[in-house]
A and B are shown apart, each in its own frame.
Chain A
Amino acid sequence: MKLTYFKKSFLCVLAGGTLLTTSCDSNEDNAPKGAYEHGVFITNEGQFTHTNAEVSYLSRDTTTFIPELFKQVNNRPLGDAAQSMTFIGDKAYIAVNNSEKIEVVDAYTFASTGVINGLKIPRYMAALNTTKAYVTEHVGYPYLGYTGTGRVAVLDLTTNTVTKTINVGLQPEGLLLHNGLLYVANSDDNTISVINTTTDAVVASLPVGEAPKHLVLDASNKIWVLRGGYSAPGALVKIDPANNHALTTYGFAPGELGAGQLTINGAKNTLYYSYGGKVYAMSTSATAAPGTALINRNAYGLGLDPETNLLYLGVGGYNSNGWAVRYQTSGAVIDSFQVRILPNGFSFR
């Protein structure tokens, strides 16, 4: 390492040009590209209609904790109802649903670099590459009388614009890219929409059951769907993309209702999900969904750091500071950090 650094420095000196100095100063191996290059980013949804969404930052060694990162760096509020945050290349994209925008920030400094407007209630993002991405949009809320379809917007990340919208089912939520296809969970429906990313057209609709919410991909390239509404018990549904999208359902026991979040560990062989106000773990090779919970706590947000294999739970109320609580994957609590209102997700970098 030291040697590499020395060589690079030497080259810089040899080149001698001022133009090169900059690139040498931000040397990837030795000098950080920004204060927030690595760490845990906690999305705080904030109070709906209140413009107090935020992103909190926690360094992995926990020595740096910044509850209001966006405001601290950019001197303005993030917006109204942050839904999710996605790292794509050198940028982070924060979907702010009731501001109907995606804020774009530098992934290392968190400085605002742009905004994507022209969206309707943006929820979650997935990127095909550093220039093309997809975002699910609710378009309207059923409780306000909206009965139309949801959609997926195709984004051009070089111009920060919407290039196309694709109608899907009702209230599309989580989405996943795999093998040239985009899988979209229609959370107020019973289906997963499958979109061909070459033509950006829906090519299939998979009937997975009531209220699919989130998707992850495991080590053997199976797609897992967490689903469940408030009328019948939910389930984990395994989709085999290599076998004509064959479905296997791992039903949950009656009694509890309400699917929350789904994530997977770094080895991609253990699923972690929140359901009915508890957190469960399930091996991707299990034959049935677990009967007992790993953590008896309601996780509004749930994340697993693939680097450290620690679980993060977001807990708290609608009008006061929430908490990011760290757990071992055994279910043992480690510590907690006071974040902002409604921590609903975690991004690791």
Chain B
Amino acid sequence: MLQRVLFFAGLLCGMGLLASPALHAQTHLPDTVHLHEVRVAVPRYTRYAAGARVQTVDTLLLKRQPGITLAEVLQQRSPLYLKSYGNGMLATVTFRGTSASHTAVLWNGFNIALPTLGESDFALLPPSPNTTVALQHGASGALHGTGAIGGAVVLENPVTFTPRQTVRVQQEWGSFGHSRTAASGSFSNGRLALTTAFTRTAADNDFRFRNTTAFGAPLETQQNAAFDQNSFAQELHYKLNQEQRLSVRGWYVKTHRQVQPSMGSANNHAEQDDENLRLMGEWQGQLAGGTTTVRAAWFRDQLDYREAGTPSLSLVHTYQSQVEHERQLLPHLLVQAGAEGQLFRAQVGGYGTDKEEKRFSAYSWLRYDPVPRLQLSLNVRQAWVEGFNPPLTPTLGANFQLVENPQHTLSLKGNVSRSYRVPTLNNRFWVPGGNPDLKPEAGWGYEGGLAHHVKTGGLSGTTEVTVYAQQVKDWIQWRPADRGGYPEAVNLSKVRGHGLELDTRWQYQPLPHWTLTAGLAYAYTVSRQQLPDAGARLQDRQLFYVPKHKVASWAEVRHQGWWLTADATFTGQRFTDNDNNNWLEPYALVNASLGKSFAWRSLEAQLMAQVHNLTNTVYQTMAYRAMPPRSFRLALSLQWAKANPSL
């Protein structure tokens, strides 16, 4: 198996590098080490993540294909495993062999996981084009709070007052009823900055597939899998004076989905409506030698599911606030302290009555560079939840530069981190079976690695290798209640894992008008719990839907307005049950796109053609959930940007 993966990886590298003698610089190099770089628009916590693995995702996809969901972006650009129930259907992401609820998702500092389920559906997250997406692999309870056991997906909309006026519209058409419309605008006069983005995506998903669960394995047309999604994001930033600014951000996503039945299940014509409204305000001021930030947010998350009769409704209001202060205590010592409060108000049919839960946490982050070659971070967070207290979660991390010269830097990194996850509202309040006495899950992660940057002539690249070990205790699972007849949430199992991650990204510019970029991310993941075999002897079993091997790779050639992009992923065998009785076979998936932009004064037009699943691979990421065969898309966009007089 490993040989096969390495062959595949090698093939893609070769393909990318040989495809053209030149490339362009769209790879975003990770910023994890240099203290003096922190004032630029990188996630606010990055400077406290010494020794941890934080990877920015190439957000070119978001800009080229506004409306694309995080599910699609991460499938193409990360080594994470996505469990997708169909094209546009429920999609969850796991880091390092944990589960979907062990992935924290933060939007401009706030956790946006659905508090009822404790996880995020990545098909419901189409980030606006100016969003930066960073992936923190590994436990990080001190930085990201509850749920950051396997890792965290961090979405930020950076503040910029650079004067600009742009308007962009885009229309895309595709196979199986796919259509996507996007419009966005951005304005700033140096004091006020406004950004607006609207997208609408719809698909019929009426593709053909072979139903291998039915007698005779007939070819069928996928039923009940259409969806449409509207997203509207608005940002307003206002500079009160040189020291203070106000920001307001809103993100509204409304998604209607038919719920694609699995091949073996009846089409029960289920439908799901999700409506997620997120509003936040932020004030930031440079006061008393430090930076103080106050944030408040209100989320309204509605999820309605129905098969027959009246829908099953769930509505949660989340109120959050955060206060934090950051200051440079010494020339080489940066500290941030903060506190946050959350209030959840849930109206869920299954709870019987409306429920409320309050959570608080306080944290302190510290970054210390005793010598230029060494960066240390020490972070700690303590959370308080009504009824029980999660453990204190510290993190200690370090980077050490082994080699630093104009061409190369090589750093050694290491990190030890604790994490926790508060039981979800469903875990605690569902009737019957919800268990108010559940303990929070708690985990430890240990990692070390090497990071290498090179820049010589037209070639630059960064490569990071990480090895890790982790364990999660008191993992919450549902099991048949002792009193029988219904499921009950209990702190059941303990999961141990270890693995290796490789991430390498390159750009090469051999001639002035030729650019080549390529990247590859590989994850080797072992994540196991002990379960009895047929002889009742405990055996290590790989968690279900955790592939041991996943490779994601991409390459792009740009030349005078033309670009050709290909991405390919390889996903290894995945067990579909925890006992490892059954599994899905490995598969490879290839997408490609060709684009050309035409500029005329302040107008720019782009035409792009895409092929998804180029090799027409039959694959599933969840057992018996059919995925689309080869499909095509064509997009046309128009952009108008006012020439900036100050430039």
Contact = CB atoms under 8 A, between A and B. Distances in A.
B312 interface: yes
B573 to A, nearest CB: 17
Contacts of B532: 321, 338
A217 B307 CA distance: 36
Interface in B227-264: 262-264
B174 interface: no
A42 B575 CA distance: 23
Contacts of B217: 76
B432 A230 contact: yes
Interface string A224-237: 00000010000000
A316 B492 CA distance: 13
Interface stretch (A6-14, A18-26, A252-260): A252-260
Nearest to A96: B264
A318 B215 CA distance: 27
Contacts of B487: 318
A98 interface: yes
A260 B484 contact: yes
B311 interface: yes
Interface string A39-53: 000000001011110
Interface string A130-151: 0000000001110111111000
A305 interface: no
Interface residues of A, number: 54
B582 A52 contact: yes
Contacts of B266: 80, 98-101
Interface string A74-95: 1011111000000000000000
Contacts, number: 137
B536 A336 contact: yes
A79 B483 contact: no
Contacts of B579: 320-321
Given A49-B265, A80-B264, A320 B531 contact: yes
A76 B308 contact: no
Contacts of B477: 317-319
Contact of B212 (A76, A257, A341): A76
Contacts of A78: 264
A140 B581 contact: no
Contacts of A99: 264-266
A157 interface: no
Contacts of B576: 50, 52
B484 A145 contact: no
Nearest to A320: B578
A80 B312 contact: no
A276 interface: yes
Contacts of B486: 258
A106 interface: no
A80 B268 CA distance: 12
Given A80-B265, A115-B215, A338 B624 contact: no
Contact of A140 (B305, B308, B349): B308
Interface string A275-296: 1110000000000000000000
Contacts of B531: 320-321
Nearest to A261: B484
Nearest to A101: B266
A298 interface: yes
Interface in B394-416: none
A68 B483 contact: no
Interface string A51-80: 110000000000000011000001011111
B7 interface: no
B351 to A, nearest CB: 12
Nearest to B85: A49
A277 B483 contact: yes
A256 B213 contact: no
Contacts of B581: 67-68, 321, 340
A100 B576 CA distance: 22
Given A51-B263, A51-B264, A300 B478 contact: no
Contact of A112 (B215, B485, B492): B215
Given A77-B213, A298-B482, A52 B623 contact: yes
B530 to A, nearest CB: 11
A190 interface: no
A99 B268 CA distance: 9
Interface of A: 47, 49-52, 67-68, 74, 76-80, 98-101, 112, 114-115, 139-141, 143-148, 230, 256-260, 274-277, 298-300, 316-321, 336-338, 340-342
Given A140-B308, A144-B305, 13 more contacts: A76-B213, A76-B215, A77-B624, A79-B265, A80-B265, A99-B266, A115-B215, A146-B307, A275-B484, A276-B484, A317-B480, A319-B577, A321-B577
Closest 4 CB pairs of A and B: A51-B264, A100-B266, A145-B310, A80-B265
18 contacts: A67-B534, A77-B213, A77-B264, A78-B264, A80-B266, A101-B266, A140-B308, A143-B350, A145-B309, A146-B309, A230-B432, A277-B481, A298-B480, A300-B480, A318-B479, A320-B579, A321-B532, A338-B533
